[in-house]
Amino acid sequence: MTECVFCKIVAGEIPSYKIYEDEKYLAFLDIYPSAEGHTLVIPKKHVEWVWEVEELGEYFEVVGKIARHFREVSRDIVRSNIDGWQVPHAHIHLKVGKISNPNPTKGDPQKLQQTLEKYKL
């Protein structure tokens, strides 16, 4: 889908801070992080809703792999939620810690790079 911002990230048309990537899935830092390590895990193939992902079990295995890695690195809780109304491309949020900023602002590139170095799988 050419107008989908996540599809543009997958295609390399928009830069991102890639936490994890394989042939089917991509995880990258949210540039408006509401919590430590705020990451979006998406299927590379465009589908609007999580329940439309063809291999849903495999998708959740990838999410679990990343979440376990975050917990190991941070020694804190890792929260997840499924959201889909802001960007019409299936995605799952992962966030470290108990606190979220309800009004996130654009992340500082240096801080995002440090977060990437800490959490990259």
91 is catalytic: yes
List the catalytic residue out of 38, 69, 89, 91.
Answer: 91
CATH number of the domain encompassing residue 34? 3.30.428.10
What count of Cα atoms within 13 Å lies in the side-chain half-sphere of residue 68? Answer: 6
CA pair distance 1, 13, nearest whole angstrom: 13
User: Quick check: 1 pLDDT over 90?
Assistant: no
Q: Which domain holds residue 63?
A: 5-119
- So what's the pLDDT on residue 84? 72
Each residue's pLDDT tens digit, 94-110: 999 988 888 899 999 99
Identify the pLDDT of residue 101: 87
Looking at the structure of the chain, the number of domains it has is 1
Q: How far apart are the first and last CA of the chain?
A: 27
Q: Which residue has the tokens 């900023």?
A: 101
What's the pLDDT tens digit per position in 24-79?
A: 999 999 999 999 999 999 999 999 999 999 999 999 999 999 999 999 999 999 99
Other residues' Cβ atoms within 10 Å of the Cβ of residue 19 = 23
How far CA 12 is from CA of 21, 30, 83, 114, in Å, comes to 12, 16, 23, 21
pLDDT at 103: 86
